[in-house]
Amino acid sequence: MRIYIGNSPMKIPMCPPPPVYRNEQWIPLTSLEDMQETDYDVLIVGSGAGGGAVLWRLMNQIGGSGKRIGIVERGGLLLPTHAQNIATMNGERFDKYFSSAAAIPPRYPSPQIYALGGRTLFWATVSPRMHAADLASWPVPLKEMDIYYGIAEKVMSVTQNFTKRASLTQILLNRLQKDGFPDATDEPLAINLESINQYGVVNSNPYFSSLVFFAQALNSPFDLAVNARAVEVLTEKDRVVGVKVMSPEKKSYFLKAKKVVLSASTFGTTQILLNSGLRNSAIGHYMTIHSRVFGKGIANRNEFPEALGPLHILIPGTEDRSYQIQIWGPGAYPTVQYQVEPLKREWEISFYASGRVESRFGNQVTLHPFKRDEYGVPEIQIDFSFNEQDEAVIRQMGEGVKRAAKAMGTPLVSKDGQPPICLWRPGMELHEMGTCRMGEDPSDSSTDRYGQVYGVQGLYVADNSVIPTSGTANPTLTTVALAIRTADHIIRQLK
């Protein structure tokens, strides 16, 4: 081609045409065929909070060192960010989208999300630390937990400033602090409030999800496969050598690895370990959750300035208070973007109390003796009940919600057939933990203090299932802190 300006040919050569790409995803993917040909130093199973944290820490510390890191996810590419970062999302649409993407275990109403990022695509970002009294019996020293909590809070952008200028939060918080709850505080949330920092860097994902871990990890190369169902851990002479993975077409692949980290969720990791036939009597047992008492109050709009802002208050658990209370509102607008709040004389205020639940051997996840899923893996069975101690905490929570509502001047009400205070069914709070809990004694613990499975060198767990006791705090921050600590231990082993 000759280009003319007037009648003279151009002297500058034409730029070559841009390359043509087809079928490129928003994150680089690797085929299982290629991963099967690779010897991995570390292979991670699961891409939620724990798996994402391990991946981020490994790439942050040893990325570019020549170590081969791989990660597989059972689900596909559902969302490229936390659902709340989508401009068209509102509360009602969020709930419907979450429900449409969820898989419910048999006879236990705890939705599981099989997708890159897992539940962190939808989580509420509430990120309190566990109280020191809850951590005292753990095999991890309190000083170490403090260090790793700090690392987790930094990378997750945990802040209490989201509601700093919200009049609804600050007025109700002041009422609580003056009337029986001096330790009530702005709720810590994993939300990056700095949309553009002073160096011109755009933070496009304010609501944190595990995909932020993936974005930062991409500064160094790693392999990622989605729609890859891990079904069995492979071992030789009590040492892990890899993982058996299956494609949607039910073709089996054997991925080799010196270290394997299972982060497939409390239920998913337990299912894989039990299906692998590992000799560890504690795996699947000591399942714990948080009991959840829910209350609905009413705030009179005339008692507040014109601009309400979001409501996020946390009454934390303590050594003497065996529960925490999260207080949200107004109505369905604790997190809004473009949707305009309607003018209302009264606004609903929601109380979510989470109580300590005792770890007991009989609360367990087991494999069904004859029912199998489409991959040939035995389905899980979940056996869980509250004991008298748990029920006593539930009663205390009910009284605590009543006192908090009274202190705030937001009387509890019955609406749409729901009583002012009610107990959620176990599982609806989405806080299952403990089935691979860490501890010092292999007889009542599945992993050691670093998350390594007893009896199998190089096999680690990094998700909610390693948390040994429920405490009262939402588990995600604790899971991320422990996962980063596990990653640091693995890095020391690799050097």
Kindly list the averaged pLDDT for each block of 10 residues, start to end, along the chain of length 495. 57 82 86 98 98 98 96 97 94 91 92 97 98 96 98 98 95 97 98 85 90 97 98 97 98 98 98 94 97 97 91 97 97 84 92 98 97 96 98 98 98 91 96 98 97 98 98 98 98 94
How far is 430 from 434, CA to CA, in rounded Å? 13
Count Cβ atoms below 10 Å from residue 492 Cβ, excluding itself. 10
Query: Under a CB-based contact definition with an 8 Å cutoff, are residues 111 and 173 in contact?
Result: no
CA 302 from chain centre, in angstroms, equals: 38
pLDDT reported for residue 185: 98
Count Cβ atoms below 10 Å from residue 319 Cβ, excluding itself. 10
The two structure tokens encoding residue 83? 């659902």
Burial tier of 107 (Cβ tally within 10 Å: 0-12, 13-18, 19+): exposed
pLDDT reported for residue 15: 85
Query: Under a CB-based contact definition with an 8 Å cutoff, are residues 275 and 232 in contact?
Result: yes
How far is 478 from 469, CA to CA, in rounded Å? 11
442: cis peptide before it, omega within 30°?
A: no
pLDDT reported for residue 228: 98
Is residue 453 situated within a structural domain? yes
Q: Helices in 113-262 by DSSP H: which ranges?
A: 132-135, 142-155, 167-178, 210-217
How far is 131 from 472, CA to CA, in rounded Å? 8
Query: Under a CB-based contact definition with an 8 Å cutoff, are residues 291 and 401 in contact?
Result: no
- Name residue, tokens 């802190």: 481
Query: End-to-end CA distance of the chain, in Å?
Result: 57
Query: Under a CB-based contact definition with an 8 Å cutoff, are residues 413 and 296 in contact?
Result: yes
Total domains, the chain:
1
Q: Which domain holds residue 278?
A: 32-494
The two structure tokens encoding residue 147? 């260090």
Q: Residue 146 belongs to a domain with what CATH number? A: 3.50.50.60
What is the value of pTM for the model shown? 0.96
Count Cβ atoms below 10 Å from residue 7 Cβ, excluding itself. 5
Is residue 2 situated within a structural domain? no
- Helix (H) / strand (E) containing 54: helix 49-62
Is residue 42 situated within a structural domain? yes
The two structure tokens encoding residue 150? 């700090």
Side-chain-side CA neighbours of 28 within 13 Å: the count stands at: 11
Is residue 459 situated within a structural domain? yes
- Name residue, tokens 């003796």: 369
* b/e sequence 193-222, b meaning 16+ C-beta within 10 Å: eeeeeeeeeeeebbbbbbbbbbbbbeebeb
Is residue 14 situated within a structural domain? no
Amino acid at 6: G
Burial tier of 288 (Cβ tally within 10 Å: 0-12, 13-18, 19+): buried
DSSP 197-208: -TT--B----B-
- Name residue, tokens 């089935």: 435
Is residue 23 situated within a structural domain? no
Is residue 10 situated within a structural domain? no
- Indicate the SS3 state at residue 367: strand
Is residue 4 situated within a structural domain? no
pLDDT reported for residue 8: 60
Query: Under a CB-based contact definition with an 8 Å cutoff, are residues 484 and 148 in contact?
Result: yes
